Structure formats: C-alpha cells, structure tokens
C-alpha cells in the first residue's frame, strides 16, 4: 500500500511539473555579449590619404585636380625624381582616402582590411594599386600602413554613344591591406571595475543584467548606475583572471526589455510595430476617394471628294469612385499587436494608409507607444 502511494505521488509530481513547463511562457533571452559592450573593448577608426597608380586611363585629370598633381610631385621627390619642371599628363593616377577600423587588442604585425575611395574626378579604381599610405587615429598618431591591389566590386563600360555602370567603381577594398605598426595600450588585468554599456539603454534591462550577474557569481558585485551602464566590481578570486570573469559574464542569458515603439519609413512605406504596442478603445474609418479623368480624341473626316476638313475633337469622361465598402471599426481597449494588425487588415488598408492611421491614432492620444519616423 505504501509503495502504491509512493508511485501515485511520484506520478502526480511528474504531471504537475510537466504542466508547469507547458504553462510557462517562453521568453526570448539574449546573451549579455549580444546586448552590451564592455569598457575598452572597441574598434578605433583610422584614416589616411594616398595615391592609386596603374589605372587604365580612368584616373584623375591632373590639369583640373591640383592636389593629385602636387601629391605625385611630392611622392617623386621622396624617391629622388624631380618632376617640378616637367608637364605631367598621366591619367593613370588617382588621389584617394583610405579608411580602416583598428580592432580592439590589435597587435603589431597583424593585418586589417581597408577601404579606398576616390577624391577627385577619377572614373574607376579598377586594376589600381594603392601605394604605401600611413593610417592615423583621431589623435594624429600613425597606427598602420596600407598598400596593395584594390578589388572593386563594380563594372563600368563605355562606348561611343552609350555607357553602362553597375555598382560604384570609384570605391574598392583591400583585404588584409594594412599592417598594424603601433598598438593601443590597454591592459585588462589592471581593471578594478568593469563597466558594461547597454546598446539599447533601458532601466529594466539594466536591472535585469545586474541581477543576473549577481545571481550567477553568487555575490553582490554588479550594480546598475543608469539605464545604460552596469558597474561590475572585480571579485577577489578574479583579480588576475579578468578574461575568465568576462567569459562567464558575457554568456549569461538575460531577457531585454524595450519600450513600445512604432517605426515608420515614409520613403519606402515600411511600418514596424513593437510587440508591446497598445491602444485605447477607439473607432477607425478608412476610405478613399478616387477621381479618374479620361480624354478620348474623336476624329471627324469629310466624305471622299468633298471640300470638308478633318476635325479633331475630344471626349472627356469623369469617373468618381468613393470606397463604399469602408466601414467604421471599433478597436477595444488594450488590444495587442496581433489584434491591431488584424483589425486594420480587415479594413483593407495599404501600408501608406496604415502610416496615416497610426499617426492619427497617436495624435488622438489612444496609441500607447512612441512613433519614430525615419
């Protein structure tokens, strides 16, 4: 009898546990590394000015682009060639701007990709080679040097009466085209406090991140100081193991929160509605008035061998079409995203109409969300 009761209790516990797992809502969670950045671990932008040679007559017009001419003369001076007294006529050289991102902890001797873009009136950089170009940071210090063959992902062709251009031939890329010469000094092991910056600042998300870190580490060491920042004091057992600490922290799962928002792109007619958008009870009517005017020419010709003249007249037809199927629909208080979309689809609204409706609902004060127009 005792064994039967034990089995019955065990089955009941399994049933209860299964029901709880089934009834629990599935929440979308993300790793901390996917929603936040760590202090000091970021890219640094580099920029430089250089020359591209080897172009097939598609370079800058030296007669009209003075800085290209001066750059060629200066480059030739550095290698012992005096070109100031001669007349340069080459169309195979172009002045360019070179940009790159220096990754966090980029070490000396490592290679990075660079982008090359024409500055003057060059027609194409196809087949060109970038000469050694120093790349500087915002402080004016040189961190890398770029050089190499440019890969242009575009095609241009020109004939006597027609030309075809696909893509942007005046911009290209050099894979692994720059070598890092100087490193940005930054030592993780010296950090006593790690600051975590949320990419989408939010009070609730910041609190959830700090609570998740404290629960995972088992001590109260993280605190949200504002909607975008979580301050993590390095525990004693991780004083010399910052990488291990950050590895554990960035893998912690957190459910980020977000504000209710409707994003509208009026240029393309795209509307994105967040899941937390709610509206108060209101009525919506949507209808279109279409006026179509058609002109039909009528030609009247005289009979054969008569003295009449051909007369051209016009016949005008005006058609006024008002959508008689438009109805006044009532949306209840607190409807969710799916109910809102279903209700608007029932009216047969187009994306353009939806933009106007959402803006009107927001103006009435019934839309409990922010509207962002891009």
Task: Clarify whether residues 81 and 173 are in a common domain.
Answer: yes
Q: 15 in a domain, yes or no?
A: no
Task: Clarify whether residues 218 and 272 are in a common domain.
Answer: no
Q: 23 in a domain, yes or no?
A: no
Task: Clarify whether residues 325 and 274 are in a common domain.
Answer: yes
pLDDT, residue 343, reads: 67
Task: Clarify whether residues 204 and 79 are in a common domain.
Answer: no
Q: 39 in a domain, yes or no?
A: no
Closest CA to 93 of 79, 72, 74, 77: 72
- 176 or 190, which is more confident? 176
Task: Clarify whether residues 172 and 51 are in a common domain.
Answer: yes
Q: Is the pLDDT of residue 160 over 70?
A: no
In which domain, by residue range, is 223 found?
187-254
Task: Clarify whether residues 174 and 227 are in a common domain.
Answer: no
Q: 282 in a domain, yes or no?
A: yes
pLDDT, residue 8, reads: 42
- Output phi, psi for 345, to 5 deg: -65, -35
Task: Clarify whether residues 167 and 204 are in a common domain.
Answer: no
When pLDDT is cut at 50, 70 and 90, the band that residue 312 belongs to is low
> Is the pTM above the cut of 0.85?
no
Question: Per the structure, how many domains does the chain have?
Answer: 3
Task: Clarify whether residues 176 and 58 are in a common domain.
Answer: yes
When pLDDT is cut at 50, 70 and 90, the band that residue 10 belongs to is very low
Please name the residue that has the structure tokens 């340069």. Answer: 88
Task: Clarify whether residues 250 and 364 are in a common domain.
Answer: no
Percentage of the residues of the chain whose pLDDT score is greater than 90:
40
Q: What residues have CB less than 8 Å from 235, skipping those under 6 apart?
A: 217, 219, 221, 245
Domain's final residue, options 254, 281, 308: 254
Q: Is the pLDDT of residue 22 over 50?
A: no
Q: Is the pLDDT of residue 24 over 50?
A: no
Task: Clarify whether residues 175 and 70 are in a common domain.
Answer: yes
When pLDDT is cut at 50, 70 and 90, the band that residue 194 belongs to is very high
Give the chain's mean pLDDT. Answer: 80
pLDDT, residue 250, reads: 93
pLDDT, residue 325, reads: 54
When pLDDT is cut at 50, 70 and 90, the band that residue 4 belongs to is very low
Q: What's the pLDDT tens digit per position in 121-155?
A: 999 999 999 999 999 999 999 999 999 999 998 77
Q: 24 in a domain, yes or no?
A: no
Q: What's the pLDDT tens digit per position in 218-275?
A: 999 999 999 999 999 999 999 888 999 999 999 999 999 888 888 888 777 788 887 7
Q: 127 in a domain, yes or no?
A: yes
Task: Clarify whether residues 144 and 217 are in a common domain.
Answer: no
Long-range contact pairs involving 276-279 (C-beta distance under 8 Å, separation at least 24) = 276/337, 276/369, 277/336, 277/337, 277/340, 277/367, 277/368, 277/369, 278/334, 278/335, 278/336, 278/368, 278/369, 279/331, 279/333, 279/334, 279/335, 279/340, 279/361, 279/366, 279/367, 279/368
Q: Is the pLDDT of residue 307 over 90?
A: no
Q: Which tokens in the block code for residue 71?
A: 């750059």
Q: 18 in a domain, yes or no?
A: no
CA angle in degrees (0–180, nearest 5) for 363-353-372: 50
Task: Clarify whether residues 123 and 196 are in a common domain.
Answer: no
Q: 58 in a domain, yes or no?
A: yes
Rounded average pLDDT over 168-188: 91
Least confident of 42-56, 173-187, 308-322: 308-322
């Amino acid at each position: 009898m005792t064994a039967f009761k034990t089995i019955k209790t065990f089955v009941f516990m399994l049933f209860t546990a299964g029901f709880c797992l089934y009834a629990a809502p599935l929440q979308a969670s993300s790793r901390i590394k996917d929603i936040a950045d760590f202090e000091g671990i970021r890219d640094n932008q580099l920029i430089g000015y250089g020359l591209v040679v080897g172009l097939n007559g598609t370079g800058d017009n030296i007669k009209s682009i003075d800085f290209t001419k001066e750059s060629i003369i200066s480059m030739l001076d550095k290698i012992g060639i005096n070109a100031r007294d001669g007349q340069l006529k080459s169309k195979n050289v172009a002045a360019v701007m070179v940009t790159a991102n220096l990754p966090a902890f980029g070490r000396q001797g490592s290679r990075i990709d660079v982008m090359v873009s024409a500055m003057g009136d060059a027609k194409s950089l196809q087949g060109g080679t970038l000469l050694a170009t120093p790349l500087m940071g915002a402080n004016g210090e040189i961190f890398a040097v770029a050089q190499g063959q440019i890969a242009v992902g575009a095609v241009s062709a020109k004939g006597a009466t027609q030309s075809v251009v696909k893509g942007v031939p005046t911009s290209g890329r050099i894979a692994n085209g720059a070598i890092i010469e100087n490193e940005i000094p930054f030592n993780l092991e010296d950090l006593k406090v790690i600051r975590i910056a949320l990419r989408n600042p939010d009070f609730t998300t910041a609190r959830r991140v700090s609570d998740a870190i404290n629960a995972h580490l088992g001590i109260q060491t993280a605190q949200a100081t504002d909607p975008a920042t979580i301050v993590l004091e390095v525990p004693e057992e991780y004083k010399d193991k910052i990488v291990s600490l950050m590895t554990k922290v960035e893998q912690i799962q957190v459910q980020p929160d977000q504000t209710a928002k409707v994003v509208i792109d009026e240029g393309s007619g795209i509307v994105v509605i967040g899941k937390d958008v709610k509206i108060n009870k209101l009525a919506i009517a949507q209808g279109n008035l279409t006026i179509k005017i058609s002109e039909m020419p009528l030609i009247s010709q005289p009979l054969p061998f008569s003295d009449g003249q051909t007369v051209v007249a016009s016949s005008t037809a005006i058609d006024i079409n008002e959508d008689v199927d438009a109805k006044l629909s009532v949306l209840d208080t607190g409807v969710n995203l799916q109910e809102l979309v279903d209700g608007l689809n029932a009216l047969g609204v187009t994306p353009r109409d939806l933009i106007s409706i959402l803006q009107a609902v927001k103006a009435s004060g019934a839309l409990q969300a922010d509207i962002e127009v891009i």
